[in-house]
Structure 1
């Protein structure tokens, strides 16, 4: 019977061999990623700045308003377009 150290070494060797055949991935395209600090515009031309992002929600501040607003991530992506600086 093989010892735990022999099993660990065999597993590590198998993983190294498996990784040799994997092609390196291309850098991720992050153009569509919602990042705090980015600015967006809605269909009426009003500007907003993203404050916080979670998997489900986006908190943002509308230009000229003091209080932040919150919207579901999918709804935010449909309503706003990113402003290129």
Structure 2
């Protein structure tokens, strides 16, 4: 039977090997992410500001209008283009 010290050393060696063989992580591209506060243009060129975004829905406010509009995320990604500052 192995001692607790041997078990500990074996576990440490396993962890070191796992860290060596870990695939290289690539940086995450967040340009396409819909974040509250970002500004977009619709197909007619009108400006909108994102108020809330979830996996399924996006709430936005059109410039010059008091109300808030809501649409599906997929439809939003098709109809709106992000405005670069």
Q: If the TM-score is normalised by the length of the shorter chain, which range does it land in? A: 0.7 to 0.9
**TM-score of the superposition, structure 2-length normalised?**
0.81
- For the pair shown, the structure with the greater C-alpha radius of gyration is 2
TM-score calculated relative to the size of structure 1: 0.81
Q: Residues of 2 paired with 1:71 and 1:10: CA distance?
A: 54
1:14 Cα offset (Å): 3.1
Query: Unpaired runs of 5+ in structure 2?
Result: none
Corresponding residue for residue 38 of structure 1: 38
Q: Could you report, residue by residue, the CA deviation over 1:42-64 in whole angstroms, capped at 9, with x for unpaired residues? A: 11001100011111111100111
* Displaced runs of 4 or more, over 2 A: 8-16
Shift of 1:17: 1.8
| Per-residue Cα deviation, 1:13-54 (whole angstroms, up to 9, x for no partner) | 534422211133121011111111000001100110001111
Cα separation, partners in 2 of 1:52 and 1:13, compared to 1, 3 Å: farther
Please tell me whether residue 25 in structure 1 is matched to residue 25 in structure 2. Answer: yes
